[in-house]
Structure 1
Amino acid sequence: HIPLERNRQDVIADISSGTLGLGQIVVVHAIPCKRVLVDVGGNIHAFWRKYTIQGPELLLRIHEYFPREPFEEVGWLRARRLLQGKEVSDG
């Protein structure tokens, strides 16, 4: 925990606005950091990644979860379905 008075006001403003993700805020404000991918996975419904962003007086543990359907709709992922318990790819 970093006391509020030691935080940068521009960073606090971006966090409060909710328009940028935490990883984006770190980049936009050029906060020195290292990113480490901890886990990645998926199933027929979604995919996810877990990673950390570490820097001086900074440690973020981030878990992002993405439903597959929107990515299938725009063609970024091929649709998948289960057929008799076995995963089948459309197309």
Structure 2
Amino acid sequence: MKLSPTAAFRAMGDEGVILMTDSGQIYSTNPSGTAFIRQITVGRSVAEAVSAVLDEFDVQEDVLLADLEELVAFLEAEGVVVTAAS
């Protein structure tokens, strides 16, 4: 998984902003979402990104997984993230 070529991500402290350059649509991310997006933008797999976020935040794994699954589903539906080509 990676950001769409038309998505630009910027972290601002613990939160982040994603701009879709083709539509002008803007999305904001909370601290855990920002940490997850940071991980996938440097080429980590979803599993590696989840593991890194778990290490960074004091949260129950099942709660984080549910939140990130919801985030990924939303971002995929919006075209913000795409499946990385093998």
TM-score, L = length of structure 2: 0.31
The structure with the largest helix share of the pair is: 2
Relative contact order (C-alpha < 8 Å, sep 6+): which is higher?
2
Whichever of the two has the greater Rg, that structure is 1
